[in-house]
Each structure stands twice: as C-alpha cells, then as structure tokens.
C-alpha cells in the first residue's frame, strides 16, 4: 500500500497514542511464566505484539481476549514443546527474549521470522546463553534466524557485561537467570530500557539493580514469578511522531495523555528540549512502577544539536523522527555513536538519510550515525521508500505533513507493526493549511 499525503498541514489535537510495545510484549511473557492469572488492560494489538501472543499460544499458554483485556493463564515456567516453528514476524523483541526464555526449557523449538528479522544478529543473545548451558543451531545462516534452541535446567549462572547496551539482550539473560542454579550478574553502560526489571520486581522476582561507577548492574536470584494486573501506558516511541509534528508545523499543538515517562525512554523529550522545543510534562503518576503522564508539544523554532553518546540507548527507536525535527531546525544536528541503527528493522542510518534526501534535505551518512543540516526553506515533496520499516514510514509521513505539495510513502502498511491506524490518526487530526 502506498499513502499519499498533501502538505503542508497543521494539527491542534489530543491524540490517542497506542499502548507501549515493549511493555505489551513483556506483559505476555511474564504472565506466561508466572503462577496464576495475569490480566493486561490496554494491550497493544499491533503486529509485533500479536506475534508474541501467537508464539506463547504455540508453547501451550492459554491466552484469551475478554472485553478488550488480555488474560494469560501462567505456566510457572513449564511451557510445552511447540509442534510448529515459532514465527516471530518482524519482532526482534519477541525473538531475542524468547531465546532467553526457551533456554530454561528442556525441549527443542525452532524460531523464525520475516525477511527483515532473518537479517538481524542473534549471536549477541545466543553466545552468552550458550555459556549458561543452552544450545543453539542456526539452520540456514550462521548467527541468524531460523535457529533451533534447546534449553537446560537448571542453567549455569552468568556474570556478563553487555558489549553494546541492549534491553533485548539484557532481558533475555534475566529471564534465563531466573532459572539458573545461583545468582547471576548482568551489567551494561549506558543503561537501556528497564521495563523487564521493573515488571519482574512487581511479579515478586528477587532482582537487585544498582549503579557502580555509572555502570548499571542487575543481580538476579533464581525464583518463581507471581501473576500481575497491568495497565499499559501509551508508547512514547509512537507519541514522538505527533510531538515532532506539532513542533515543526505552524500554529500547532498536540496533547498525549497517560504516556510512559520512564527516564530510560524520555531521551527524545530531553533532546528536543535541548533543541528549543516547547514541550511540557504534567500530571506525572506512578502506574505499575512506571512514571506516566501528559505531554504537551507546541510549534517551536528548533536549533540543531549534537546528541550525547550516553543518550543513544534512550532514543534508539526515535532517531528517524528526531532526524525529521533536525531537518526543520536551524543549523547542524549530529547523531553519532549509533551503530545499532544499522541492525534495526532496516539499516536506519541509510534509510533515514534516503528518506530525508527524497525531501531535499542536506544530510550525510556517517560511519555510525547521521549529520543533518537544517533545510526547511529548500524542501520539496518526497517519495519515501519505507523499506517496510514502520518507523521510517511514519517519520516520512510526518515529514510529508510539514512539506508543501504531495508526498508518497511506499509500502506504508508497515506502520501497523507498532501503530495500527497511524495514517487515519495523522490525517484525521491534521488539516491542510
């Protein structure tokens, strides 16, 4: 599906942002591994999280949808051998966290994914898990899906420092460490999103988190999990598209309610504020151990920024839309030390640069990042190849809204990976100026 967008537009709206993807995945996983019945309100019914539900159903977990809530009958870490491949679709979180979870099970299972997921590196998870005693066989290409996994019980504890910060790797190791013989210690710097640690603590897991000379340390003691009642807040990674839209369009304002404001996720707000963005946070409350609140963003004059290395994990999913904000700023923006972008749903250094160039933005590919020169007076309508990457399609659509003329997003349907109804929300809430 191709989507045509007529710019320039403006927006003044309270926007309903979908539930958080990271928390939705984890709610199913922790619910499946706990004892008892977990109830999830406001679950994200988007392609990636549906992949997680389908995989756990194949592992013998009863999961029902009742009046919009997801009910999971926990198996206390006793999953059943699947009779088919576990298909993770486009979802790196499903595949990598499952590799950790399946390492605790004594049966064999095969994990597979779509053509994008089959290109994403898996050794970052399988290598440390192998030292814990589980085994992996890559069935087609070394280090990539499809992979056969066979776990062990109990696993050998692990003492491991992640070479690159990653919530997916960290979470896979924590899920495995809960079924190790003894305490494990996992370290990373800078700290990546910590939803797994927070949710596991609420489920009664014996996990201690601390900092040692700016290195984040997770100590995991083996044990069981109790069921949870979870309400999923709105996803700041999805809200970011509408926040930037309000900032770069004239006479615009966007309000997002009940949005996740965990500091490991709010890098986008901090960096946009460094660029001069008019963003206000209100009514912050703690919900399931996570800060949530209201975000108000208004049209702003932005200035380019040099993003600090330590902020990269806090904005890793927002870089395509941050690059759009940079295209509308005065001066240069440098986003470096972000080699992880090369192994996301697409090579997001290349695909973001190509998206921006299609609108006439002056920008340069760096070895590990992007350099963007503010170009708001030179823009033309673009034809965006999304490369079937949801965040490139949505960033391109926001760019199109703020650019005079008709732009096209190719293979635009991939937005449903994380944001079902994205284009309806975007066009429905904005109007042509």
Determine contact, residues 299/252, Cβ cutoff 8 Å: yes
Among residues 377, 364, 375, which one has the least CA distance to residue 335?
364
Query: Would the annotation count 112 as a binding residue?
Result: no
Query: Would the annotation count 69 as a binding residue?
Result: no
Nearer to ligand S3P, 228 or 319 (CB): 319
The catalytic residue among 142, 317, 330, 389 is 317
CB of 427 to ligand S3P, least distance (A): 25
397 makes contact with ligand S3P (CB under 6 A):
no
CB of 6 to ligand S3P, least distance (A): 30
Distance CA 144, CA 148 (A): 11
Query: Would the annotation count 265 as a binding residue?
Result: no
316 makes contact with ligand S3P (CB under 6 A):
yes
Site for ligand S3P in 138-177 (CB under 6 A): 166-168, 171
The residues near 254 (Cβ < 8 Å, ≥ 6 apart) are 11, 13, 14, 15, 242, 243, 245, 246, 295, 296, 297
Distance CA 25, CA 30 (A): 9
Nearer to ligand S3P, 75 or 120 (CB): 120
Distance CA 133, CA 106 (A): 11
Report helix, strand or coil for 342: helix
**For residue 44, how many C-alpha atoms fall within 13 Å in the half-sphere facing its CB?**
29
Main-chain phi, psi angles of 173, to 5 degrees = -70, -35
340 makes contact with ligand S3P (CB under 6 A):
yes
**For residue 151, how many C-alpha atoms fall within 13 Å in the half-sphere facing its CB?**
26
Sole binder of ligand S3P in the list 24, 93, 116, 258 (CB under 6 A): 93
20 part of the active site: no
238 makes contact with ligand S3P (CB under 6 A):
no
∠ CA 422-426-430 to the nearest 5 degrees? Answer: 170
Query: Would the annotation count 26 as a binding residue?
Result: yes
184 makes contact with ligand S3P (CB under 6 A):
no
In the chain, what are the helix, strand and coil shares in percent, each to the nearest 5? Answer: 35, 30, 35
Distance CA 125, CA 178 (A): 16
Query: Would the annotation count 339 as a binding residue?
Result: no
Nearer to ligand S3P, 90 or 430 (CB): 90
192 makes contact with ligand S3P (CB under 6 A):
yes
Nearer to ligand S3P, 192 or 388 (CB): 192
Nearer to ligand S3P, 57 or 342 (CB): 342
Site for ligand S3P in 268-307 (CB under 6 A): none
Tokens of 375: 């170009």
CA 34 from chain centre, in angstroms, equals 23
351 makes contact with ligand S3P (CB under 6 A):
no
Size of the site for ligand S3P (CB under 6 A): 11
Determine contact, residues 342/288, Cβ cutoff 8 Å: no
22 makes contact with ligand S3P (CB under 6 A):
yes
347 makes contact with ligand S3P (CB under 6 A):
no
By CB under 6 A, name the binding residues for ligand S3P.
Answer: 22, 93, 166-168, 171, 192-193, 316-317, 340
Catalytic residue positions, numbered: 317
């Amino acid at each position: 599906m191709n989507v045509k967008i007529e710019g320039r537009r403006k927006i003044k709206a309270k926007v309903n942002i979908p539930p958080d993807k990271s928390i939705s995945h984890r709610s199913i996983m922790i619910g499946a591994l706990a004892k008892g019945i977990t109830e999830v309100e406001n679950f994200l019914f988007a392609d990636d999280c549906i992949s997680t539900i389908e995989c756990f159903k194949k592992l013998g977990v009863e999961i029902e949808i009742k009046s919009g809530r997801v009910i999971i009958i926990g198996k206390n870490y006793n999953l059943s051998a699947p009779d088919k491949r576990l298909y993770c679709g486009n979802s790196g979180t499903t595949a990598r966290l499952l590799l950790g979870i399946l390492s605790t099970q004594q049966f064999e299972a095969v994990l597979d994914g779509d053509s994008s997921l089959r290109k994403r590196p898996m050794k970052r998870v399988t290598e440390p898990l192998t030292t814990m005693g589980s085994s992996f066989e890559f069935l087609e290409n070394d280090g990539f899906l499809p992979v056969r996994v066979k776990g062990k019980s109990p696993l050998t504890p692990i003492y491991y420092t992640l070479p690159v910060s990653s919530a997916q790797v960290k979470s896979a190791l924590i899920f495995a460490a809960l079924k190790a013989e003894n305490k494990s210690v996992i370290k990373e710097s800078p700290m990546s999103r910590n939803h797994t640690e927070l949710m596991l603590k609420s489920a009664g897991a014996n996990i201690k988190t601390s900092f040692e000379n700016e290195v984040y340390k997770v100590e995991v003691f083996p044990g069981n999990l109790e069921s949870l009642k979870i309400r999923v807040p709105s996803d700041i990674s999805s809200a970011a598209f509408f926040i930037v839209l309000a900032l770069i369009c004239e006479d615009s304002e966007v309000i997002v309610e009940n949005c996740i404001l965990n500091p490991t996720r709010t890098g986008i707000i901090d960096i946009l504020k460094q660029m001069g963005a008019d963003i206000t946070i209100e009514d912050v409350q703690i919900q399931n151990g996570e800060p949530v609140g209201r975000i108000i963003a208004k049209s702003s004059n932005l200035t380019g920024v040099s993003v600090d290395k330590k902020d990269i994990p806090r904005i890793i999913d927002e870089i395509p839309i941050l690059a759009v904000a940079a295209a509308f700023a005065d001066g240069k923006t440098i986003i470096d030390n972000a080699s992880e972008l090369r192994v996301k749903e697409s090579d997001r250094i290349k695909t973001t640069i190509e998206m921006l160039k299609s609108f006439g933005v002056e920008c340069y590919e760096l070895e590990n990042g992007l350099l963007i020169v503010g170009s708001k007076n030179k823009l033309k309508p673009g034809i965006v190849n999304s490369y079937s990457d949801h965040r490139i399609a949505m960033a391109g659509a926001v760019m199109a809204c703020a650019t005079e003329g008709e732009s096209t997003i190719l293979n635009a349907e991939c937005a449903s990976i994380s944001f079902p109804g994205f284009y309806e929300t975007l066009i429905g809430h904005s109007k042509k100026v």
